[in-house]
Structure 1
Amino acid sequence: MTDTSNQRLLAHLAMLAFALMIAGSFTFGAMVVDDIGPVPLNAIRFVIGAAMMGAFAFGPMRQKFVFPAAPWRFAILGLLMAVYFVSMFIALQFTAPIATSAVFTLIPLMAAGFGLVLLGQRTGPVGLLSLLLAALGSVWVIFRGDLAVLAAFDIGKGELIYFVGCLCYAIYTPLLRKFSRGEPAVVASFFTLSCTALWVCLYGVPSIAATNWLALPSHVWWVILYLAIFPTALSFFCVQFASLRLPAAKVIAYGYLTPVFVIGFEGLVGHGWASLSVLAGAAVVVLGLLVLALVPERSAR
């Protein structure tokens, strides 16, 4: 196996880890939903995540701290991620999580389009078919295999708001590669996380100031620590690492595994297992991603 093949395999494994960490955030996040608002929670997770990534990059990794050339690159990347997260919070005020999850399934297809425009990455008919297959399986899982619920899905204000955030997420991944100037992944992740934290904090100043941080229960801080380390710092690093080695559509498509892993986590913690119909949808997601992973890149700069 060549070094390039090894790097691509590591990139696929990184995105598997990404999906696992994001799925875990749903289980742990549900434990603190009544104790802290979503914007303060995400502001503190990004601040801590950026600090941890910086300590790791400029400590054990022995990277030299240098103010990056063209810092506007990280400001744009951070803004895109901040818009994605904030739009999600705003959308959930108008619609249900199941609806936002359905909108999320559009991201890999949009990422494929942005990857073509920005980087010349051609997914190809087999790749597009596998994306559609994984998307259909993901939608089936999200709607719990209930055709009546799927038929009742309606596009409203919340869905449109979140769609804007999903557009930002879709363009974020190809821009990681386009904006790269050879910085190590840990360094690039630090600056991106820092800018994301700055934008989220600016947006959430009122709610952050209104939060009684000293009165938060201890379990909230444990969850914040988990969110800061895994679905924030490490997941940003995984996306940064994978985006330089895989087409944008392949990177983002691993998000389809999130509801599949959520099923597993919920079952393992004793919340019950999904029906066979839903598990069949999960199998379709896995099959679609497996085909996508095996499809060779036709053009990737």
Structure 2
Amino acid sequence: MSVVSVRRAHLGMLLWALLVGLSFPAVGVMSEGLPPLQLTALRFAIASLALWPLARRAGDWRPARRGLLLYALMGLCLAGFFGAMFWAAHRATALSMATLYVTVPLLAFAFGVAAGVERLAWRLPLILALGACGALGLAFAEARNGGGGLQFGSGELVFFGGCLSTALYPVLSKWGINRDWLSASAAARTFWSLALGGVLIGVAGSLVEPLAGLAWMTGSDLLLVVYLGLCSSAMTFWLMQRATAALTPGAVTAYGYLVPFVSMLLLFATQPEQIGWAWLPGSVLIVVAMVLLLRGDRATA
């Protein structure tokens, strides 16, 4: 893999972190009481429709049987994570969920080693551990603003299952790419995984949520869902799939540590009175971890 493609993959994941971090305020202004699983299925449907013209351009966009099975497993990973996240949202504290989520890059690294798509070396795990400590620092700083205490119950257990699912997604993608089971086009890979994941999430939503729940959407809600579908689903998963072709699963998921950092910067921009020293240690650790990640890949590319 060329140095240019690795650099572009890292830059793309920086944009990914920015888009994901900015999506949380958009979700926060939507009307209350809307069915979250059905909303996610709608987001994925919008994202899939947007990616369809790009996916069709790929000569290998139609998957073979084994490729379709792998796409279905990737879609199941997406459905598992979002289903677990929404189920646990009112059963687990924000601090507990944030603490569990920092395990995702380390889990992706472990799964990648087992699948043969990650090198068993000491440098990346140390960088991931450094970033995890930084993300935990931000989580504890946020908890001081009313995020709840640290606990472990049924909600946390289910959410950890979702963390296992989302950590497996880039590993399956990398494994399939290396064996030519999946399309060489990031758009095609994103389309199939989102489309199948959206179907699974939609089925789950129809079983546990009122079918008429989306009828309460307002015009502004619909515009926000379209925005989230295009920017926070289609674009972010495309960026992740593009990066997966050049980087390892651990390196790709490491950018999840930047999401709370982006959210923190947005908080400071809108509520500067929230600025305090409690945010500094975690922020410094995350920045150092990202710099080491960028320098390491540039040196070994």
Question: Is residue 17–residue 255 contact of structure 2 (8 Å, CA) maintained in 1?
Answer: yes
Q: Which moved more, 1:203-212 or 1:187-196?
A: 203-212
Q: Look up the match of 2:76.
A: 79
Give the superposition deviation at 1:151: 11
After TM superposition, the structure 1 = structure 2 runs for residues 23-172 of structure 1, keeping only pairs within 5 Å, are: 23-34=21-32, 36-58=34-56, 62-63=57-58, 67-69=62-64, 70=66, 71-122=68-119, 124-144=121-141, 152-172=149-169
Report the Cα distance in structure 2 between the residues aligned to 1:251 and 1:297, rounded to whole angstroms.
Answer: 14
Report the Cα distance in structure 1 between the residues aligned to 2:41 and 2:240, rounded to whole angstroms.
Answer: 20
Q: Look up the match of 1:184.
A: 185
Q: Secondary structure at the match of 2:122?
A: helix
Give the superposition deviation at 1:40: 1.8
1:92-127 C-alpha deviation (Å, 9 max, x unpaired): 121122221110000111111111111242252232
- Identify if the C-alpha distance between structure 1 residues 145 and 124 changes in structure 2 by more than 3 Å, giving closer, same or farther: farther
Report the Cα distance in structure 2 between the residues aligned to 1:151 and 1:97, rounded to whole angstroms.
Answer: 6
Question: Is residue 124–residue 298 contact of structure 1 (8 Å, CA) maintained in 2?
Answer: no
Q: Look up the match of 1:243.
A: 244
The answer to whether residue 172 in structure 2 is matched with residue 193 in structure 1 is no
Give the superposition deviation at 1:37: 2.3
Q: Look up the match of 2:218.
A: 217
AA at the equivalent of 1:199 = L
Match of 2:15 among 1, 17, 26: 17
Report the Cα distance in structure 1 between the residues aligned to 2:163 and 2:233, rounded to whole angstroms.
Answer: 18
Report the Cα distance in structure 2 between the residues aligned to 1:238 and 1:98, rounded to whole angstroms.
Answer: 28
**Percent identity among equivalent residues?**
25
- Identify if the C-alpha distance between structure 1 residues 211 and 5 changes in structure 2 by more than 3 Å, giving closer, same or farther: same
Q: Look up the match of 2:254.
A: 253
Report the Cα distance in structure 2 between the residues aligned to 1:155 and 1:287, rounded to whole angstroms.
Answer: 30
AA at the equivalent of 2:106 = L
Q: Look up the match of 1:234.
A: 235
AA at the equivalent of 1:47 = A
Equivalent pairs counted in the alignment come to 294
Report the Cα distance in structure 2 between the residues aligned to 1:234 and 1:145, rounded to whole angstroms.
Answer: 28
Higher helix residue share: 2
Report the Cα distance in structure 1 between the residues aligned to 2:9 and 2:51, rounded to whole angstroms.
Answer: 19
TM-score by length of 2: 0.89
Question: Is residue 39–residue 208 contact of structure 1 (8 Å, CA) maintained in 2?
Answer: no
- Identify if the C-alpha distance between structure 1 residues 247 and 162 changes in structure 2 by more than 3 Å, giving closer, same or farther: same
Q: Look up the match of 1:293.
A: 294
- Identify if the C-alpha distance between structure 1 residues 159 and 65 changes in structure 2 by more than 3 Å, giving closer, same or farther: same
Report the Cα distance in structure 1 between the residues aligned to 2:247 and 2:87, rounded to whole angstroms.
Answer: 31
Question: Is residue 74–residue 191 contact of structure 1 (8 Å, CA) maintained in 2?
Answer: yes
Question: Is residue 111–residue 252 contact of structure 1 (8 Å, CA) maintained in 2?
Answer: yes
Give the superposition deviation at 1:240: 0.6
AA at the equivalent of 2:123 = V
AA at the equivalent of 1:200 = I
Q: Secondary structure at the match of 1:122?
A: coil
AA at the equivalent of 2:193 = T
The answer to whether residue 9 in structure 2 is matched with residue 7 in structure 1 is no
Question: Is residue 74–residue 192 contact of structure 1 (8 Å, CA) maintained in 2?
Answer: yes
TM-score by length of 1: 0.89
After TM superposition, the structure 1 = structure 2 runs for residues 270-285 of structure 1, keeping only pairs within 5 Å, are: 270=271, 272-285=273-286
Report the Cα distance in structure 2 between the residues aligned to 1:192 and 1:95, rounded to whole angstroms.
Answer: 28
Q: Secondary structure at the match of 1:32?
A: coil
Gaps of 5+ in 1: none
RMSD: 2.6
Give the superposition deviation at 1:32: 0.8
